[in-house]
Chains A and B, each alone.
Chain A
Amino acid sequence: MAEIAVSLWRGKADGSYQLYRVPQRDNQTVLDVVTWVQRNADPTLAYRFACRVGMCGSCAMTVNGRPRWTCRTHTSKVVRHGKLEIGPLANLPIIKDLACDLRPFFEKWQAAKGVFAPRLTRVDAIEEIVPTTAARQAADAAIECINCAVCYAACDTVRWNPDYLGPAALNRAWTLVNDERDTGQQQRLQAVAAAGGCHICHSHQSCQQHCPNALNPTASIAGLKRHTMAAYLKGELE
């Protein structure tokens, strides 16, 4: 049976790659490969997954140097000359092996005010949203984020500047900036216009290149830049 020579990152930041030989199958994802290693070669291997169908955003890893969702990446697409290298996501602290600490990622989500601030309560009638307005369409174009942190791991600016909020958090902020029901706009614009906010994005577009859901966080960030500039010129921002 054909085998893949799989190099897996083991340990923390000072760890190293270890080689495993994994049977190659016709229909096999990178997550299948990692699971095979844990079940058959080394049960101490740490990694993270949940849904296995590209919805939960838990299983992102670095595959042959590129951040990918492993549950929907087929080995036939990424194995080169019978080899595969799988590591933890970049730009995040490594807990162990392939599992990263995602706290910085989600703390920045909070710092960018990526949380809906409602106007109504649960006793009010549900508000009707018109899907055809320009703002709603801008929000819809960016809303399918699954929080996998692939864009965060792919971002050069995150690597160079640990204060940068990152593409996912800013993309989320952009969906809320365009949400007519939200009441937290002033604080959100202030948060994304501050140091570490949208203006240090270099528009390298790695987030767009690697996003497994084909979102374009660079475009969302450009929208935030325009929006915050207009607000600043109107004297609405400090």
Chain B
Amino acid sequence: MNVRLYLLQRGSAAVLLPLVLLHLGVIFYASRRGLSAADILARTRGSLFWGTFYAAFVIAAATHAAIGVRVIAAEWTGLRGLALEVGMWSFGLLLAALGLIAVAAVVLA
């Protein structure tokens, strides 16, 4: 962890905070209203807002988690150097790819 990674992790946490709150609100709304999968897809398909919202969520979460896991890996496995960097980037890119595929599935028609 250096100052750049620290800023990225704290910055991504600050981005995530309102996004997580709205995401929880969405879950609450969808379950209380008993929305079906079709109802939800009708709202998300082609929506620039939900596409942007969840893409930002995925990028921030992938960034935050990858840096956090990097710290844990360094402390608990003694991983250092190139292996640590490759591990962080692989984990972050995997999370981002999985998340963005999921976002594409509900936003793109």
A91 to chain B, nearest CB (A): 13
Closest chain-B Cβ to A191's Cβ sits at a distance in Å of: 11
Q: How many A residues face the partner with a CB closer than 8 A?
A: 15
Contact partner of A232 among B1, B3, B74, CB < 8 A?
Answer: B3
Q: In whole angstroms, how far apart are the Cα atoms of A59 and B6 in the complex?
A: 36
Binds B, one of A73-81, A167-175, A193-201: A193-201
Asked whether any CB of chain A lies closer than 8 Å to the CB of B4, the reply is yes
Interface of chain A: mostly helix, strand, loop or mixed: helix
The answer, yes or no, to whether B71 is at the interface (CB within 8 Å) is: yes
A154-169 at interface with B (beta carbon < 8 Å): 157, 160-161
A160 and B76 contact, CB distance less than 8 A: yes
Binding site for B on A (CB under 8 A): 157, 160-161, 193-195, 197, 199-200, 225, 228-229, 232-233, 237
16 intermolecular pairs with C-beta atoms under 8 Å apart: A157-B75, A161-B74, A161-B75, A193-B3, A197-B2, A199-B1, A199-B6, A200-B71, A228-B3, A229-B3, A229-B6, A229-B7, A232-B3, A232-B4, A232-B7, A233-B7
Asked whether, in the complex, the Cβ of B76 is within 8 Å of the Cβ of A194, the reply is no
- Residue total for B at the interface (Cβ-Cβ under 8 A): 11
Whole-angstrom CA separation of A160 from B79 in the bound complex = 11
B5 located at the interface, meaning its Cβ lies under 8 Å from any Cβ of chain A in the complex = yes
Measured between beta carbons, the chain B residues less than 8 angstroms from A194 are: 2
Residues of A close to B71: CB separation below 8 A? 200
A-B contact sample (6 more), CB < 8 A, given A199-B3, A200-B71, A232-B3: A195-B1, A197-B3, A199-B1, A199-B2, A229-B3, A232-B7
Asked if B6 contacts A225 (CB within 8 A), the reply is yes
With A160-B76, A161-B74 as given contacts, are A200 and B3 in contact (CB-CB < 8 Å)? no
Q: Which residues of the other chain, B, contact A193 by a CB distance below 8 angstroms?
A: 2-3
Residues of A within 8 A of B74 (CB): 161
Which residue from A160, A199, A232, A233 sits with its C-beta under 8 Å from B75? A160
Choose among A157, A160, A161, A195 the residue that contacts B2 (Cβ–Cβ < 8 A). A195
Cα separation A199 to B71 with both chains bound (whole Å): 10
Instruction: Tell me the bound Cα distance from A200 to B76 in angstroms.
Output: 13
Minimal Cβ-Cβ distance residue in B for A195: B2
CB-defined contacts of B76 to chain A, threshold 8 Å = 160
Complex CA distance for A233 and B3, rounded to whole angstroms: 10
Partner of A237, one of B1, B3, B75: B3
A161 to B3, CA, bound (A): 17
